[in-house]
Structure formats: structure tokens, C-alpha cells
Structure 1
Amino acid sequence: MGARAYVWRSGGLAAALGIGAAVLVGQGVALADVGATSGSGSSSTASGASSTGSPKPDPGASAPATKPRLTEKASATTDSTNTKVDTADPTSTKKKKSSVSDQSIKPAHNPADVAPKKATDAPPTAKVSAAESAKTVAQPKISKDPTPTTSVAVSSVASAADVTITKPQEQPQARVAPVPTAAIAISNVVTTVLNPFAGGSPTAPAVSPLPWVMLAAARQEFSGAKTLTAVQPVTTSTPVDPKPTVSAMAAAVATTNVSPSPTIAPPTNVVAIAATPLLTALGLQYLPIIGPLFVTPIVAIVNEIPIVSDLLHPIFGYPVQAGLPPGSPQPEDVQVISFDGTPINVHFMPAVGLRAGQQAPTILDGPGLGMPGATNLNGTPLDGIITDNLGAVGVATLRDAGYNVVTWDPRGEYFSGGVLQLDSPDYEARDVSYIVSWVAQQPDAKLDGPNDPRIGMVGASYGGGIQLVSAATDHRIDAIVPTIAWNTLNDALYPNQAYKSGWGTLLTAALLATFSRPNPAVYPAAISGDFTGMLTQDQQDLLAARGPGGTPDLVSQITAPTLLIQGTVDTLFPLSEADANATDLIARGVPTKVVWFCGGHGLCINDLLDPRDGAVIQQETLAWLARYVKGDGAVSTGPQFEWVDQTGQYYSSNAYPVPNGNPIVTSSTTGGVLTLLPFIGGSGPLLGVLPIGGTKAFNAINLTVPAATATTYVVGAPQLTFTYSGTGQATHVYAQLVDNSTGLVLGNQVTPIPVTLDGQTHTISEPLQMVAETLRPGQSVTLQLIASAADYETITSLGQLKVSSMSLSLPTADPSKIAIVPASQTQL
């Protein structure tokens, strides 16, 4: 990493949490129904929130594809299943996600290396002033129907006769998951006290784009800044965010899309309103002597403070870049008006060295949950630490590599309008499509064709999830690098019917602390989960609609080359989430690579001072973007799979999943008795202060694996089988693997195991969370079956469990099929 200074990983993680809590978080309290209804009868008709699936496409609308896409899933796709066997019900089975140990797919080489497409030029788009727009766009009439869906036909010069609104057939209102009355009452109190801006109604306050038009017009008179950009209008029929304000601006916002998911036809009528920061509008940085000597240095210092600079950006803006030739592209901020009239706050930062008349490919960099869009034009002192711990590559790194960078505030957060819908394909993904179309209008953006920019995406956590749903629904996106993202929120937040109360509480607090405006069913559902440890079926159905591998299955729609980066110590979105995405993509022939690093939503305590993770992530990300966004066929993306063990050593395999070696199988008929108590003697911090992972428990039944006689690579999901009987109120026990040489839990991972305490004998077999551990000769691990874990704490964990036999199978990698990555390749 050169002369760059590093701090302890724990310090970096704490700093990130202290600055904004949600730097670490991606999804989480995704328990809200976007179709939540109130006493007023307002609701959303988004298909992603309905348990009945997506609505059928409107046959009268066109959806031209601008890029080739895969339309059929390869017949070679296979799903490995693991069966949970219960002697009390021998017919009971449970399908599991395929694990890295599945050998049904063995590519002979890395399919990621395929030829990218060739760029072409496209004509520039027209610019329209705010004043002209206000004169030409008429105010449409809207129906008082509680679930309005407008169909707006707009001409380039609209009049009252040009605007038509039709009312569709009545659609059933989406259900709101029932929640205990106490939980609702507590939620209302918490929301009112801590987040007064969120309101207590089922919908956020409507955000009208009309004030933005007026402000933009006034700003234009003051500063001469451009205010509106637009291209040819089309006809639309779309669902809308709860209670949107339909104004003169809304009549000009249209898209060719007719089916919210799984695919979105590119919108071509995009309106953007300039949002000039105060100091830029006042021109203080351009004052003789005072500007360059005092104002610009202050702005530059503020711009290098993570998160704080993003919050103060409407005042300070960007520092002036001295010494650039006349006409060089400049950073700018706009409000892109999305499909339902919601303004999305967008930042455009041109590539370093870009000159007048030149174009560069563009990267969309999505923020984490509770985070604003980054505006650090020249980077921050914490960029290296953030990349090393969270896998997020900074704006400056991307700009230095020759990319324009676009960031934004997701809907319902900070300076964007609307209601946060948790990376919904029907809302946030459609916002991204509007941003992509706006990028296509920029003279500094390289195009592959009309309305088709050369574009890639990066981002961690929430910024990783949005990549997967966006790439599935908008095939103009050329490549994605989802980092510490998820496949399905059901598996991530409610594994084996156990609610992750630790992360649920932290994520809810992050939303409250940042005054986010989430779907109002989020807080009651999160509180209900904390109190009961369970989610209703309606809530589970909603989770299934909030992920690429849920309902509908959006992963099967992704055609963009995908680099999946996941954290071995991530306790919110563990390795299995990336594994599910990778297995599907590889089976369909999509260029795919997988990298496991020590970081994510968790604390990497194995190698606190080791900067190699950040170096690997930066190198792999830039290589992937160079190959598939820049189109540089000379760039190699390397082996298909790279992972790091507990010592910080990286390994690679030309195939994902890595070919299996002989498993390590250990069994015992001794068993033992486990007293089931909440909080006491379990895994993790006392009372679940932070869901950072597991710790060695003293209230446990232990099964020790014999010491290794040769170097052994444990890679994948261990399988645990045990026979038990018991009585009490507990619904789960928990399993973890402990490194006997360090006392640390492998990857901080704890797996909930469902149990039936009816006094009868049962046998259960469950895969544990995936791990990556290298056992040297003489080293061993111990399986602990425990009563409680910090991330799953509930007061109902009471009873007694008697285990009569246990068996553990550890998956290993074939040593002849892996390579040790030299240290020189993990340094910058």
C-alpha cells in the first residue's frame, strides 16, 4: 500500500460506526410492506411488495432492448439441497442454498474473460430551462382513487390537451403484516421521540418537484447555472410511491417501462434540476486573492471529511480545481426526477484529467443504508481503512482510474425525496434507471449508443444490493461489483426462522439517527421481531421481495459481468449470500468472479493490522471495471475464486466452487445436557451490545475435531447432525466452530438450529454458516452447541436439551486445485 498509514481495524470500524453507524449496514430492517395502507386508504401497487408476485406486463407498451440479454436459464443449472431430518416427522424436508462445496459446476477456466462490447458515439441531448418547462407543462388532474396509477402521455411541448390520465382496473390492496399492539405502541413512541420528521402515518410526507423547479429557476437568474435537461417524452403506466405529489413537473416525467419487475425498459424522458451549492452560487471561491487563498482551502478541507462533507455539501460544494484548461468538465449536482415525481439527489464528478470534448466511462457508486451519496472529490484520509474493512472503493480511486463517478442519496434519505423502500426493484432500481438515462445525456459520458452510457456500478452493503436489482432490471449496466450484499433477506435476516435481533436493533437505530423516511411498517416489524424473535408470514413474504434471489428471482435476469466481494466475518450478510448469487450466475454462463475478504458487517480480529484485504479489493475491482466497462481485453480478471484464511493468507482457484478434497468427519455418542438460558453463558457480547460475532461459550456441548496431520483447507459450509430430546420454551439452539489455537470463533459465525422441545427424540441435520480456515499440522477446531447468541437474543430461550449423539463434517478444498497468492500480489 506504499507509504499510506494504517490504523487498527477495530479503530476503523468504530470510527465508521461513530460517524454514521450505517457505514457498516446494507439492508436489515427490511420488514416493511411497500403496500402498507392507512386509515386514509392510501397504498402502493408495487409488485415487489406483494406476495402474489409481479403484475403482468402491459401489452400495449414497448420495451426495446439496447443490449443483448440472456432470456432463458441454462438447463445445466442445478441446485444442491440439504435435508433436515426429523424422526418425529420423517417426511419433513427443507431445501437449502447451494454451498461452496457443491461440485455440480466445475468450469475448466474462468468464464469471466469474455470479449466486451465496443463503444459508439451518440448525439448530444437538448437542454431545457426551468422557465420554459413551467410554461409548457400543464397541471394534470388526478383521481381520488386510494391506489392511483397514472398513465401520462406527454409531448415535447405539453398542453392541457396533451396530458391524459387513465384509471386502471381496481387492484387488491396489499396486506400489512399483523403486529402485536404493544409493539405498535412502542414503535409509535420511539418514532415520535427520535424521528419526528418521519411522521406517524403509513406514508411519508409527499415531496413535490415543483418547489425544486422554482428554486432552480431562481438560482438560474442569480448564477446563470443550467437548470433542466430533458429528452424526448414517451408514454408511461407505472406504480407510484405512497402519496406522491402530482404537479406540473410530474406530467413531464415519463418512462417506457410498463412492468416494474423483473425488467425495466430504459426511460428516455428524464428531467434533472440543477442543485448549486451555496458557496458556488455566491462565487466566493472565484474572488481575487480571497478565493484561492482562503475560501478554496477551507472547502477542500471540508470536502475531505467523510460523511460530514456530504451533509454540508449543499453549503460548501466542491473545491475549485486549479490549473485545468478552459472548458474542462466540472463536478455538478442535480435533482433527477424519477418515475413517480420523486427527486433523487445526484452528484456527478468527472474523471481526473478529462478535458473539454472528451468522454469517459461512468461508475455509479451506491451508498450504504443511512449514508448519503459521497461527494469527496479527491478522497479522504479514511479511504484506505474503509476499503480494507468494508470493501468500498472510494470516489478518488475511481476518478484516478479514468472514470466519471456518480453518487446519489437513495430515496427516503437525506436530500432525496420519497419513501425508503429498501432497494426495491420497483422503486430504488427504477431510480437508478433514471440516473443512468440522465448520465446518457451528459456530454462528458462515453456512450455505447443513444440513451446507453458505458456504465458500471460499485458499492457496499445497501450499495451492493442496489447493484443486483438494478442490473437485473436495466441491462444497460455493463458490469457490477456488489460488495457485502445479499441474495435473499429471508436467509440473511431470518435464517432458520430465527430473527437477527442484534442487527435489527442496530439498523433501526441507524435509520432513526439519520432521520430516514422508511416505509412506516419497518419500525413496528423490527420491534416485534426484537420482542418475539419471530416474523409473521406477511413479513417473510416482504423479505422475499427485497432481494435478487427472492420473489421474483431477479438473479436469473442479470446479464452484466459480476464480481461478488463478500466478508468472511460478515454476520449480517454471510458468505452464503454471495454463494447463492454466484451459483446462479455461473450456471447461466454470466461472467462471474468471487472474492472473500476479512471484513464486512463484522469485526476482523484475526489480522487487525494487515492492509492486504484493501489492496486485493482495490486491485480486483479496478481490473474488473477495466475489462468490462472500459473494454480493455488485455486486462486479466484472474482466477474465478479468491479467498483469505484466518491468518490473512490469500488463496485462489480457477473454479467456483473450489473442488472438494476429502471431508473431515467427527462423531460422538457421548452427547451431553445443555441448559437453555437467555444471555448467560452463550456466544457474543453480554446482552448483545453489538452483533460483531461469536465468542467461545462456557455453557455448551463440545465436539472436538482431531488435530490435523497435514495442512488442510476448510472452505465451505460444515454439516452438523445430532439426535436430541428436550423440554422447555426455546425454539432454537446455536452452533459455532472455535479455533482451539486462538479461542476465536471461525469467521465470527453462529448458526441458529431449530429444535422441538416436546420430550420426544428427534434427529436434525443442518449446514452451518460457511467458513474459510487453514488448519496447520497440530491445529484443531471444536464444535460448540450453545443455548444463546448475541445476535439472536430472546427472553424465551428457556428449557433443557439432552443430546445423545453428534456428527460433524468439515468440507475441505482439494490442495491440488488451489494456489497460494504471493504477498507481492496483495500489495499496492
Structure 2
Amino acid sequence: MGAARFVGRVGGLAVALGVGVAVFTGNGVAWADGGASSDSGTGGGARQHTSQASDTKAGPRASTRGSKKSHASSTGGLTSRGGPHSSTSTGAGDSTSPKQTDTGNADSATTDTSEPSSDPAPATPAAAVSGILTAAATNLLDPSAGGNSPSAPADSPLSWAVLAVTRRQALSAASVSPTAAQTTTSASQTTPTASLSSGLPVNANLFLADGIITGDPGAGLPAGAYTYTVVNAPSAGGKITFLTTPTPGSFTYLPDVSVLSSGTETFGIRVSQVSQLDQFVTGIPILGLVVSPVIDTLHQVPILSDLLAPLIGVSTVAAYTADPSALNTLGAPLAYTAMITSFDGTSISTNFFPATGVPLGTAAPTILNGPGLASPGATNPFAEWTSAGASNLVVGIKPLRDAGYDVITWDPRGEFASGGVLQLDSPAFEGQDVKSIISWAAGLNTAGVDNPYVSNIALNSPGDPKIGMVGGSYGGGIQLASAGIDPRIDAIVPGIAWNSLTASLYPDSAFKTSYASLLLLSLVTTGARINNQLYLGIATGDLLGWLSQTALAALGNAGPDYVLANVKAATLFIQGTVDVLFPLNAAIANSQQLTGLPPNQVKMIWYCGGHGVCLNPQTPLQSDVIKQDTMAWLDQYVNGGPVNGIPKFQWVDQNGNFYYSGKLPSDATFNSGAITGTAAGGLLGIVPLVGGSGPSPKASLPYSLGLGAPASNAINVPIAAPGTTEYIAGAPTVTFDYQGLGTGRFVYAQVVDNNTGRVVGNIVTPIPVTLDGRSHQITVPVPLNDIAYTYAPTDSLTLQITSSATAFENFTAFGVVNISDVNVSIPTIDPGNVTPETTPIT
């Protein structure tokens, strides 16, 4: 059964869970005034990139041109990949890549792990509408949109959904002004200038600087608001990525490999004025969502667009004819895109970016940068971070290139411009795709028809490139899956990855309904081609709270747990203290299973972010630690640099303070004591939603659904306050007796910070119970999810056992249970293993 038959069903479930509020309502806005930064934007099959030009432009390549946007944005944009479709960009973010023509569709997904080769599916008009709806809702509901609210989760399932339909990844702001070194290899290509019907010029020139081809159709336009729309995608399969700096409407162009040495590629970008009527109508909630694509369509209708110009503004198309060979007068390495063939014949859309300032013939090591789920491979070469803010800190293309690395990104199988069927980072499929990419990269040492300007891949030995990997969430999981089957990978930095999808989505057979629904919604809205068992599993999980054995097998095949013992790549884990989808224990389990690595090649960082919402104070130290440690790790194990001084384990507490230790949390001597609590218990009614944990009132929907919150219907167990400050980086445990009747299969435990009124880590743990009327004892301590906390004498903690949790909501669970003799224990770190960290140690 294919995607179409489940869209309505899953959409209804999402609305029932509160997800629908985020997907089906909101303001039709895309940018904000001033320098504030936001990651929200609209997208879909038709996209608009809105900007406001200034009077002070200095020409087509001005990097300091003033701009005033109508909504906040960060660097990034949209990628268009091949095919005669139209595509627009209205927001910041990294590259996105609409689908190309395909002979198949989402319904062609297989029902098992066997997988035929296929090309990407065609874009549909529904994608445009869903993109606009989702992005507009994000502007309204994203807790980070205002800049002063808690950080939203990058690569949470909602982020997957948002990034999917906008087909981009959010990025932190970064300037694209070329450095002195970059401009030494610059060139330009001039084509005739088109003009708006009012006589306003648009620029159809292309420029080359340090391997990156850029353009700026809005250069020379007078002050005003404009939209930029890809109406004719690059004819040979190249990709367009809109940027917001140095000027809104500027873009990068990745030529297809087929035109690097000879031939041309054409594409068109429509530049349209945004009238006062446009701004007013599109700003009306709900109505604006419908009107915006209509206005864009009217701009494309001959004669009618001229007649309506006084109302909707004028527009024209900047027609580009790109000749990469003519631009590349120095014969330098170029950034480009290419389709490579994977092990089973599946085409994988891959993007190559040469290291900054490295001339042709000089070898450079390579980093693979994997995207999150429902996001295409990154194509913004000027991005400092792959994802914006503090929620998913993965270094972007720019710092890697500037450090002397070639960078390769790609669209995962079953998504965007790549073919095949998505299998959730299975070592047998997506892992094999990465293996094929590495073999392709190893062949780039010899210039040829497919790579005339790329002969600078450094090798350890023939066929074995010096290669590392970075990426978060889906881009974190693929690192472990790939390194487990390919020993050529020298180092990996998996961010907020999982150990077992079964353990993450179905812990102790409790289904994570809110996040799993959003995960599926994100894939459906992008038109991803998915193993059908994923649809079936999430549908039954939402409706009934259980997964069939077939669905469990599909999740189990995704790994990476069963290949971890084979990993030979030095591994630096980065996991989120507020990650409620892939909790801290996922990184701990992964580290324990890397039995093929020496101890000094496995290290870990816990930061406030991940699939969740960071409600704690944050400092620049967090991003500094992650960026500097990532680069130091790659420098040693990929590039053969000096031995890094990264501590074995670094973590951040609820106050935003960083600490480090020479031992991992799983080390037997890491902890030396415990703080405890006891309670007599009481009677607990089990009713869905009523009095349970979540949604969190301190975060916006739909993020709040996956977060814990203090429960009113709960057994409360006070935790003894310490006499001196104690440090916690581990899992609390609980035991109790119980007797009950009903259909409920779980109670839920969480640790509440009484001073802040928040659940520590925002995370809830399901505890299985049997409500058959008999007495039961839980004598073996049940471990809860790991937390990071500094417990001072002035702090106050309470363990709660409650009846329900929106993160696991099951509307079939009813009953009553009497809980007694509750005991809780929270391990505390040996003081000798705790050292405050004030600057990154690399």
C-alpha cells in the first residue's frame, strides 16, 4: 500500500495530536525586518525568494549592498535539480532540490528490503501548497522564530516536515563575500541583460570565484521588494541555490558534470516586484497562503501579467546561458553536481565542492556531509553550519573547505533528485550508497571526461581516499551505518544519531506517536519513496500503539547497531541533552558497541539541542566546543594533523555550564555515589491526556507534544537535596510494587526540576506494567532516560510516575493502578571526574 492511501489517515492523526495546527494554519510570511535571524521559509513545488533591494548597489557583485527584508532569514536557499519545472524560494536555509521526472512514484515502493533501481518521482502541485502551509505555520509556531524564544529542534520530525516541503536545510547566517584568496581565481561571464516591462534591469551575468559560480539577477534594481523564482531549471541537471547574502536573490549555480569541460547549460530566474497589495494580501492568515501562489502564477501569464502590473507589480525572466569552461580560464577545480550509480544501479545525486584555494593537481582530503531526513544534500558553499542555531550544530561546507577539505554532499536514496527507495539509513542500502560515493571520489584523482577539473582527492592508497564524515540525525545515522561496512572511512562525527530505531521509536514496546507521526508526515510531503512497511508501522503505532513483527523487522534492518563492532573510523559522538527522539543513551549504547576501536578513538559531547527544544541558558561556548572539536578530530584522523586534546567526555548542565572528564558515562568508575528518594505511593487513574505529562507549556506546538511537563495526576517522589553540589550525567533508576486493572500497558516516569517547573531534559520514560488485577513487583531497577544536571543544595528535584504522556499518547489506554513502595536512585559523578570547561580544549 503506497503513500497516497495513508496521507489522509496520517494527516487526521496529526491534527488529532495537535500537529495539524502547525501544518494547516499560519501566516503566509517569509521574511522579517532587520538583522534578526530565523530559519523559517516557504517552499514546495513553487517557491519565491523575497527581498527588498536598496538604493546603494555597487554593481552585480556588490557584497555590501544594503537590504531590508520583509521577514527574518538566514543564509541559504533553494536548489533546483534538472527538469523543466518551476521553483521559487522565499526563505533562508540551505539548498533544496525539487524532484525530477521519474517513471515511478511513491506507490512503487517495495514491501520488503529488496529494492529496484528507480529515478526520482515528478514534483506535484500539491507539494507547492503543502510547502507554503508548512512553512507559514513554522513562522507562526516555531519557538525560535522571534530570536528570543527557546531554540527549536533542527531535524526534529517537525523540522523534517518543514525542511522537507520547503526542500532546504536551515543555516546560520554567513556572508558570501569572497576572501582575498578566493578572488584571485575569479572570472565573470556576461550575457545580455533582460529588463522588466517597466524598464528596470535584471542581471544575467555569472561569476566564478574559487570554484564557485554565482549570479545576482537583482543587481542594479532600485529599492523595493522583489521575489526570485527559478522558472526554468538548469537544462543539463545543474542546481540553483538562492542566498540571502551578499544580496537577497543572489544564488550559486552548480553545473552538471556533463558541461564542465564543454557545452552550455541554460536556466531562467523570474524577478517580480512585490506590490503593496501583494504584501497586504499575503500577510493575511490562511488567505495569504492561497493568494501567494496565485500571484506567482499571474506573473507568468503573458498579457494578463502586464494588465495586472499596477496591482501585482511587474516581472521578467533573467535568462542565463552558463559556459563553465569559458568561465574557468585558470583551469581550477570547480564545484559541480553529478549522478553516480550505486551498487544496485540506483542513481545518487551528488555534489562536489573543492577545498578553498587548493589549485588543480594539489591533493586534498575529503569530508562527506550528510543531510537530515527529508532534506536534500547541502549545496550552500558559504554556510558555516549545516543546520541553524544551537539545536543541531553540524559544521557546514564553508569551514570545511576553508580548512583544506574537499566536501561531498548528496541526496539520500528515495529522496529528491536521487532514485531508489528509502530504507532509513540501512547499511545494506544507504550504507552501500555511501560506499559507492567513496569509490567514485577515489577515482577523481585522474582527470577525465567526468572530472576534467577535479584531480585533487588525497589518497591513503589506491582506491582509498583520505575521508571523513559529518552530519546530524539522518546524517548522523548514515555515518555509523557506512563506517560499519567500509573501513576506508577514517573518522566520523555523528550528531544526534540513533543506536536502534526500534529502541528509539518503540522503547519497551511504547510507540512515540507524536514524533513518529511527524516523521512520516515529513516524508509524505516531500514525495519520498519509502519502504511501505514504514507507512504501515507508523499507522498501526498511532492507532493501536503497537508494531507488527514485519514493521519491527523493517526498523531493525535500519541499524546501525548490528554493524558497530566493525567500525574502524575514529568516532566523536555529539548528542543532545534535550533530545527526546534519540536520547543520550543512544550515544552511550553506540560507544559501548564500538569494540573494534582503541579507547582514545571514541569520545563524546553532550550539548543542549537535538530533537527537542532547549529551554536552558546557552552560551557561545557550546557552538565553539562543537566546531573546534569537530575540526580538530578531522584534522588528526583524516588529515594526519597533530594529536587533539579533546577530553574523553564533555557535557553541559541545565545552567549552560560545560564540564569535561577523562572517562565516558559508561565507565564503571565514572560515578561514585547516588542521591535517592522514597514514597509510599498511591492510586493512579489511567486516562488519555488527563493529568499526564505534556505537552510542555514552555514550548510551542507541535514541538511541545514530544516534551514532558510536570503532571498533575502523578505519584510524587521527593529526591533528597545534597549537602554539597553533586553532578549528574547518567540514568536514574526506579523500583515499585503495583496492582491494577485496565487496558493501559504503561506508566511514565520523569524527573522534575521544582525550581524551574520543567522536566529535566524534557524527557519521559515509559515503564511497562501489567494491569491484570494481580500484585506485581518491579525489583530490578528500571533505568530511565539519561539526564545531565548539576544538583546544588538550593535545588529541588522530584521523580513523578504519571498515567500518560503526549509523547507516547495512546487513546486506547484506560484503567487504574495502585503503586506502592517507590524507590528512586540517581547516580552522581565522582568529583575527581568533573572539571569545569571555560574554553574549548582541542
Range class of TM-score, shorter chain: 0.5 to 0.7
Matches within 5 A, 1:223-302: 285-287=189-191, 291-292=204-205, 296-298=215-217, 302=241
The 3-state SS of whatever aligns with 1:663 is: strand
Residue identity opposite 1:624 in structure 2: W
The 3-state SS of whatever aligns with 2:758 is: coil
Report if aligned partners of 1:285, 1:320 keep a CA contact under 8 Å in 2: no
Assess, with a 3 A threshold, how the Cα gap between structure 1 residues 773 and 535 changes in structure 2: closer, same or farther.
Answer: same
Report if aligned partners of 1:209, 1:337 keep a CA contact under 8 Å in 2: no
As a proportion of its length, which structure holds more strand? Answer: 2
- For 1:696 and 1:798, the matched residues in 2 are separated by 20
Report if aligned partners of 2:120, 2:415 keep a CA contact under 8 Å in 1: no
Residue identity opposite 1:369 in structure 2: L
The 3-state SS of whatever aligns with 1:398 is: helix
Matched, 1:347 2:266: no
Aligned to 2:746: 732
Residue identity opposite 2:829 in structure 1: A
Q: TM-score normalized by structure 2?
A: 0.62
Aligned to 1:639: 647
Q: CA deviation at 1:673?
A: 1.1
Q: CA deviation at 1:321?
A: 13
Report if aligned partners of 2:649, 2:663 keep a CA contact under 8 Å in 1: yes
Aligned to 2:476: 464
Aligned to 1:479: 491
Report if aligned partners of 2:381, 2:397 keep a CA contact under 8 Å in 1: yes
What are the superposed Cα offsets for residues 342-371 of structure 1, whole Å, 9 maximum, x if unpaired? 110000001111112212100000111100
Aligned to 2:832: 816
Assess, with a 3 A threshold, how the Cα gap between structure 1 residues 285 and 806 changes in structure 2: closer, same or farther.
Answer: farther
What are the superposed Cα offsets for residues 135-193 of structure 1, whole Å, 9 maximum, x if unpaired? xxxxxxxxxxxxxxxxxxxxxxxxxxxxxxxxxxxxxxxxxxxxxxxxxxxxxxxxxxx
Matched, 1:779 2:795: yes
Q: CA deviation at 1:539?
A: 2.1
Report if aligned partners of 2:120, 2:418 keep a CA contact under 8 Å in 1: no
Equivalent of 1:15, from 39, 44, 60?
39
- For 1:637 and 1:586, the matched residues in 2 are separated by 22
Aligned to 1:748: 762
- For 1:416 and 1:392, the matched residues in 2 are separated by 23
- For 1:410 and 1:494, the matched residues in 2 are separated by 24
What are the superposed Cα offsets for residues 299-333 of structure 1, whole Å, 9 maximum, x if unpaired? 99954369x99999685899999999812211011
Aligned to 1:523: 535
The 3-state SS of whatever aligns with 1:554 is: helix
Q: Any stretches of 5+ residues in structure 2 without a counterpart? A: 1-31, 45-103, 122-186, 194-202, 208-213, 220-227, 229-240, 256-266, 269-319, 445-454
The 3-state SS of whatever aligns with 2:634 is: helix
Assess, with a 3 A threshold, how the Cα gap between structure 1 residues 310 and 288 changes in structure 2: closer, same or farther.
Answer: closer
The 3-state SS of whatever aligns with 1:388 is: coil
Aligned to 2:608: 598
Assess, with a 3 A threshold, how the Cα gap between structure 1 residues 310 and 566 changes in structure 2: closer, same or farther.
Answer: farther
Report if aligned partners of 1:310, 1:373 keep a CA contact under 8 Å in 2: no
- For 2:575 and 2:670, the matched residues in 1 are separated by 21
What are the superposed Cα offsets for residues 23-48 of structure 1, whole Å, 9 maximum, x if unpaired? xxxxxxxxxxxxxxxxxxxxxxxxxx
Matched, 1:365 2:369: yes
The 3-state SS of whatever aligns with 2:751 is: strand
Matches within 5 A, 1:16-55: none
Residue identity opposite 1:729 in structure 2: T
Report if aligned partners of 2:189, 2:206 keep a CA contact under 8 Å in 1: no
Matches within 5 A, 1:143-158: none
Q: CA deviation at 1:717?
A: 0.6
The 3-state SS of whatever aligns with 1:386 is: coil
What are the superposed Cα offsets for residues 663-708 of structure 1, whole Å, 9 maximum, x if unpaired? 3343435211111110121111289843441111111110011222
Aligned to 1:437: 439
- For 2:662 and 2:568, the matched residues in 1 are separated by 21
- For 1:205 and 1:732, the matched residues in 2 are separated by 37
- For 1:488 and 1:791, the matched residues in 2 are separated by 18
Matches within 5 A, 1:639-718: 639-657=647-665, 659-685=669-695, 689-690=702-703, 691-718=705-732
Assess, with a 3 A threshold, how the Cα gap between structure 1 residues 689 and 331 changes in structure 2: closer, same or farther.
Answer: closer
The 3-state SS of whatever aligns with 1:418 is: coil
Q: CA deviation at 1:505?
A: 0.2
Q: TM-score normalized by structure 1?
A: 0.63
What are the superposed Cα offsets for residues 49-99 of structure 1, whole Å, 9 maximum, x if unpaired? xxxxxxxxxxxxxxxxxxxxxxxxxxxxxxxxxxxxxxxxxxxxxxxxxxx
Assess, with a 3 A threshold, how the Cα gap between structure 1 residues 769 and 728 changes in structure 2: closer, same or farther.
Answer: same
Report if aligned partners of 1:732, 1:754 keep a CA contact under 8 Å in 2: yes
Report if aligned partners of 2:732, 2:785 keep a CA contact under 8 Å in 1: yes
Residue identity opposite 1:647 in structure 2: N
Report if aligned partners of 1:665, 1:807 keep a CA contact under 8 Å in 2: no
Q: CA deviation at 1:538?
A: 2.6
Assess, with a 3 A threshold, how the Cα gap between structure 1 residues 796 and 312 changes in structure 2: closer, same or farther.
Answer: farther
What are the superposed Cα offsets for residues 99-133 of structure 1, whole Å, 9 maximum, x if unpaired? xxxxxxxxxxxxxxxxxxxxxxxxxxxxxxxxxxx
Equivalent of 1:378, from 378, 382, 390?
382
- For 1:327 and 1:526, the matched residues in 2 are separated by 51
Aligned to 1:506: 518
- For 2:686 and 2:583, the matched residues in 1 are separated by 26
Residue identity opposite 1:427 in structure 2: F
- For 2:654 and 2:772, the matched residues in 1 are separated by 40
Residue identity opposite 1:361 in structure 2: P
Assess, with a 3 A threshold, how the Cα gap between structure 1 residues 209 and 682 changes in structure 2: closer, same or farther.
Answer: closer
- For 1:770 and 1:310, the matched residues in 2 are separated by 43
Aligned to 1:29: none
The 3-state SS of whatever aligns with 1:734 is: strand
Report if aligned partners of 1:725, 1:802 keep a CA contact under 8 Å in 2: yes
Q: CA deviation at 1:452?
A: 0.9
Q: CA deviation at 1:711?
A: 0.8
Report if aligned partners of 1:433, 1:474 keep a CA contact under 8 Å in 2: yes
- For 2:421 and 2:432, the matched residues in 1 are separated by 14
Matched, 1:198 2:117: no
- For 2:537 and 2:251, the matched residues in 1 are separated by 30
Report if aligned partners of 1:677, 1:788 keep a CA contact under 8 Å in 2: yes
| Count of residues in Structure 1 that have an aligned counterpart in Structure 2 | 564
The 3-state SS of whatever aligns with 2:479 is: helix
Aligned to 1:423: 425
Report if aligned partners of 1:460, 1:484 keep a CA contact under 8 Å in 2: yes
What are the superposed Cα offsets for residues 550-594 of structure 1, whole Å, 9 maximum, x if unpaired? xxx211100110001100100110001100111222685251111
Assess, with a 3 A threshold, how the Cα gap between structure 1 residues 339 and 750 changes in structure 2: closer, same or farther.
Answer: same
Assess, with a 3 A threshold, how the Cα gap between structure 1 residues 652 and 19 changes in structure 2: closer, same or farther.
Answer: farther
Assess, with a 3 A threshold, how the Cα gap between structure 1 residues 387 and 19 changes in structure 2: closer, same or farther.
Answer: farther
% same residue: 43
Matched, 1:547 2:549: no
Report if aligned partners of 2:367, 2:469 keep a CA contact under 8 Å in 1: yes
Aligned to 2:583: 574
- For 2:251 and 2:421, the matched residues in 1 are separated by 20
C-alpha root-mean-square deviation of aligned residues, in Å? 3.5
Q: CA deviation at 1:492?
A: 0.8
Report if aligned partners of 2:719, 2:797 keep a CA contact under 8 Å in 1: yes
Q: Any stretches of 5+ residues in structure 1 without a counterpart? A: 1-6, 21-195, 212-282
The 3-state SS of whatever aligns with 2:782 is: strand
- For 2:828 and 2:473, the matched residues in 1 are separated by 29
- For 2:556 and 2:250, the matched residues in 1 are separated by 36
Aligned to 1:142: none
Report if aligned partners of 1:624, 1:637 keep a CA contact under 8 Å in 2: no
Q: CA deviation at 1:775?
A: 1.0
Aligned to 2:243: 304
The 3-state SS of whatever aligns with 2:416 is: coil
- For 1:643 and 1:585, the matched residues in 2 are separated by 20
What are the superposed Cα offsets for residues 747-779 of structure 1, whole Å, 9 maximum, x if unpaired? 111000000111111112310000000011221
Aligned to 1:825: 840
Q: CA deviation at 1:491?
A: 1.0
